[in-house]
Amino acid sequence: METWHVIDSGPCAADFNMALDEALLEMAPALGAAALRFYGWTERAASFGYSQHYADVVRLTALRPLVRRPTGGGVVPHDADWTYSIAFPAGSAWHQLKAIESYERVHAWIRDAFAGMGVETTLAPERRKDVPGQCFVGAEKHDVLWHGRKIAGAAQRRTKAGLLIQGSVQPPPLHLKRADWQAAMLTMPFRILRVEGALAELAERLRLEKYSRREFNEKR
């Protein structure tokens, strides 16, 4: 079984969160293996899909700051969620999957992690009517459901460098511990990856040049 890189960033600023995820995607070929990152937010915020119109997002959520993601999808609230990302290098088995296949696979993994914690969840069998632009209203096919309520969704981006999945888990009200969920997710051999050197430099450059800039977040 392949050994993955794992990062637990803890709470970070919104612009840095998006910058580091994109940096992991760009550096995926050099890293040579999947990089799984767990992280939080230093303040209540919302992220939104790369192609969404900023004016629409402003009307959909009162959370601030707002930050544009490098992936697609809709508005995701980050006030009590468990956020993660995974970057896979080009040529990996995950990178070669169709989008619907990688979407199902990552959510089956999350479902199984909850099962290991004694929490039964299911994958949505089909798309459920939702409010356009809102990620956690309704459900997409293969989203994770708990008693019919969506608790996990994700967005993806494929490039020549690899595949980036950004996901959010809105945990059910069962007094679950995030640390236990993260441990349940670590079903593969892994090594700790530190955010330093070229990775840290690239993340900081992307933060300064893109995700901290009003021109980027409000460009559509």
Percent share of the chain, pLDDT over 70: 95
**CA 187/CA 164 separation, integer angstroms:** 19
Residue 139 has pLDDT above 90, yes or no: no
User: What distances in angstroms separate CA 214 from CA 13, 85, 113, 135, 201, one per listed residue?
Assistant: 15, 24, 38, 23, 21
Residue 135 is a catalytic residue: yes
**CA 178/CA 37 separation, integer angstroms:** 14
Q: Are 145 and 139 in contact (CB under 8 A)?
A: yes
Helix axes 14-26, 197-206, angle to 10 degrees: 130
Confidence at residue 143, expressed as pLDDT on a 0 to 100 scale: 97
Q: Residue 118, by phi and psi: left (phi above 0), alpha (psi -120 to 50) or beta?
A: left
Confidence at residue 16, expressed as pLDDT on a 0 to 100 scale: 98
Confidence at residue 133, expressed as pLDDT on a 0 to 100 scale: 58
Which secondary-structure segment (H or E) carries 111? helix 99-116
| Structural domain total, the chain | 1
- Take residue 119 and report the two structure tokens written for it: 């929490």
The domain in which residue 153 lies consists of 4-217
Mean local confidence (pLDDT), 30-46: 98
Identify the active-site residue in 57, 135, 144, 145: 135
Residue 132 has pLDDT above 90, yes or no: no
Average confidence score pLDDT of the chain: 95
Domain of 188, CATH number, reads 3.30.930.10
Mean local confidence (pLDDT), 168-181: 96
Confidence at residue 130, expressed as pLDDT on a 0 to 100 scale: 62
pTM above 0.85, yes or no: yes
Alpha carbons within 13 angstroms on the beta-carbon side of residue 202 total 14
The answer for residues whose C-beta is within 8 angstroms of residue 160's C-beta and 6 or more apart is 90
Q: How open is the CA angle 176-177-179, to the nearest 5 degrees? A: 145
Is the preceding peptide bond at 65 cis, omega within 30 degrees of 0? yes
Residue 55 has pLDDT above 70, yes or no: yes
